[in-house]
Amino acid sequence: MAVTSRIRRNKGGDPVLTITVTGVFDVYRLGEVFTRQQTDFAPIAERAMRYLWRRLGRDRFVAFDLSMNGGKVYRGGWWRPRRREM
pLDDT digits (tens, 9 = 90+) for 28-86: 988 888 877 767 888 888 888 888 888 998 899 889 988 988 887 777 655 565 665 55
pLDDT band at 12 (very low <50, low <70, confident <90, very high): very high
Residue 69 has a pLDDT of 84
**pTM, whole model, 2 decimals?**
0.73
Residue 80 has a pLDDT of 61
- φ, ψ for residue 29 (rounded to 5)? -60, -45
Alpha helices in the chain (DSSP H): 24-36, 42-56, 58-69, 72-75
Are 24 and 51 within 8 A, CB to CB? no
Residue 82 has a pLDDT of 60
